[in-house]
Amino acid sequence: MLTSIYLIAITAEAMSGALAAGRRNMDLFGVAVIAFFTALGGGTVRDILLGNFPVTWTQHPRYIYTTITAGLVTVLLARFMRHLNQLFLVLDAIGLVAFTVIGCNVALRLGYDTVVVVMAGITTGIFGGIIRDIMCNRTPQVLCHELYASVSLVVAILYLLLVHEGVSENITLLAAFSVGLLMRMVAIRWRVSLPVFSYSQASWE
Amino acid sequence: MLTSIYLIAITAEAMSGALAAGRRNMDLFGVAVIAFFTALGGGTVRDILLGNFPVTWTQHPRYIYTTITAGLVTVLLARFMRHLNQLFLVLDAIGLVAFTVIGCNVALRLGYDTVVVVMAGITTGIFGGIIRDIMCNRTPQVLCHELYASVSLVVAILYLLLVHEGVSENITLLAAFSVGLLMRMVAIRWRVSLPVFSYSQASWE
Amino acid sequence: MLTSIYLIAITAEAMSGALAAGRRNMDLFGVAVIAFFTALGGGTVRDILLGNFPVTWTQHPRYIYTTITAGLVTVLLARFMRHLNQLFLVLDAIGLVAFTVIGCNVALRLGYDTVVVVMAGITTGIFGGIIRDIMCNRTPQVLCHELYASVSLVVAILYLLLVHEGVSENITLLAAFSVGLLMRMVAIRWRVSLPVFSYSQASWE
């Protein structure tokens, strides 16, 4: 079931990437590249940081086709996208939780320290969006806005606690998705965010 | 022979990197860094994504010296560069084809799936330019402009088809370079490009 | 002793990252992410380029906690930072030398060619700052300004020469830190920099 959710998640992330590419007037090739990296870049960075070779998507051509197709289809659907805002906010939140859980699992399997496992989950969750924004020449939005990366952090910690307690996988996943989606929806609805750090002094470095 | 072409190619790419660094008023060290990554960054990303360690240039100090020297020499030659525009467009196109073919070969040798082989070729072909633009704080040009990345895609597919058909290496290379150079020259001459996706709606994410 | 210096160094680098995040109005999570990558990103890039897995910080949770804590504490101390400018310029210079020496050592141990060893030192020294600037959407400062990357280059070469001559480790480190700090202080005091390359011609690529 996590696989089905994963396919939905990478589709939603790829579409977000395609829209970002469109804001930079990229051509169809650029759209495909940004869609691919937005969807699969987080997992790629995780695999490289953990030395988990071969990188996951190189063994799953289906993921590659899915993200590139999703990116290109977005170009056709672009005019309808703003009517689907609500839907995509939900799909994006589902993706965030799914990526986080999957990332934690990869690091757990490789026997990394708990803090590294949490970081692997967060990396998988947010780095696709960071790469998207870097490649589109803007400051990574996930590091500035409403609770997003923080949701990934909470989900990762909750997931590890439940796994550690020996709770069954189904209940663990149910809890992770419930808490993650709820947090994210509350954050969007009431614009909840972490304190922002604003600094304007020129200084060393 | 592919090695000679490769050395010409990394020289041309390093010079393109040096000019980009000059547009950002970097110092000579910055010029060397950008020249190096423009020329060898595509192959580096490919090696990392494919888990192909040690990374190629770490075993070929000559490539390192070539790219850094080319970058620094560009500073001296800068005032003449605009007269050499036509020449460099050709060298750059040769580099694109050479990088693509070499990238495909590396992934083929490692036994990756066909779609990953094609992506390895394209990555080698275009990622140097993407890294150059990211490090110079601008939107990657190869994702926006006239046929460039697409040339890499066509060359990669053509190359794989001919290899698969058992065509001799010389003829395969000749075909790859002919088609790649022709496509690129036509694209530049008549400003052929893929459709551009422009999107300005604010939206989710 | 190099370990104590290293902890001071990553603390100073993390604080520089936090201030850069503050200039982009990031939230506390963004501050932590940028702090982490500024401090440990150089070593991470080095480990990945050298195929040195597992990546160092994944085996040293203490480094992770140190950098994230330093980043968050910076938010509280931000108003005092400009009074500490001089102090941080010194700590940053110490960090640059320590990172360079450590980076050279890692590559030496893995048996890489001399030029790759020097590059591993420089990469460890300057890439944290490059990643910080890329993630904060600005042109990497270390590639533009007063002698900084060049200090790393000189320290790396000096270090390798002394190691090669069989000079004792204590004297080697003393020499590396003396020369590195002196160069950096002179560069800041009299604004010494490498020649800057300015190029404004539109051109090929």
pLDDT in tens, B180-203: 999 999 999 998 989 999 998 765
Tokens for B33?
A: 């860094």
C97-118 confidence digits (pLDDT tens):
999 999 999 999 999 999 999 9
| B171 Cα distance to chain centroid | 22
- C-alpha dihedral, B40 to B92 to C135 to C20, nearest 10°: 100
% of chain C surpassing 90 pLDDT: 85
Would you call the peptide bond into A195 cis, given omega within 30 degrees of 0 as the criterion?
A: no
- B/C interface, count of CB pairs below 8 Å: 108
B112-151 confidence digits (pLDDT tens):
999 999 999 999 999 999 999 999 999 999 999 878 999 9
List the one residue out of A185, A178, A117 whose CA is nearest residue A153: A117
Q: Is B149 on the interface with A (CB under 8 A)?
A: yes
For chain A, counts of helices (H) and of strands (E): 7, 0
What is the three-class DSSP state of C97?
Answer: helix
Helix (H) or strand (E) holding B113: none
Average pLDDT over residues B91-108: 96
Q: Phi/psi of residue A120, each to 5°?
A: -65, -40
Residue showing tokens 């209940």 = A171
State how far residue B48 is from chain A, nearest Cα, in angstroms.
Answer: 7
In chain B, the residue whose alpha carbon lies closest to the alpha carbon of A81 is B203
Does the structure show a pLDDT above 80 at A195? yes
Does the structure show a pLDDT above 60 at B92? yes
| C159 Cα distance to chain centroid | 16
- The mean pLDDT value of chain B amounts to 94
Q: Which residue from A25, A44, A92 is facing B144, i.e. has the nearest CB?
A: A25
Q: Do A27 and B119 touch (CB under 8 A)?
A: no
Does the structure show a pLDDT above 60 at A204? no
Residue B159 confidence class, pLDDT cut points 50, 70, 90: very high
In this prediction, residue C2 carries a pLDDT of 84
Helix (H) or strand (E) holding B79: none
Residue A12 confidence class, pLDDT cut points 50, 70, 90: very high
Residue A85 confidence class, pLDDT cut points 50, 70, 90: confident
Q: Is B49 on the interface with C (CB under 8 A)?
A: no
C127-168 confidence digits (pLDDT tens):
999 999 999 999 999 999 878 999 999 999 999 999 999 999
In chain C, the residue whose alpha carbon lies closest to the alpha carbon of A48 is C48
Average pLDDT over residues B27-39: 97
Q: Is B135 on the interface with C (CB under 8 A)?
A: yes
Q: Is C140 on the interface with B (CB under 8 A)?
A: yes
Chains that touch A (3 or more CB pairs under 8 A): B, C
Does the structure show a pLDDT above 80 at C49? yes
In this prediction, residue A203 carries a pLDDT of 58
Tell me the C-alpha distance between A27 and B172, whole Å: 29
Residue showing tokens 């390895």 = B120
In this prediction, residue A108 carries a pLDDT of 97
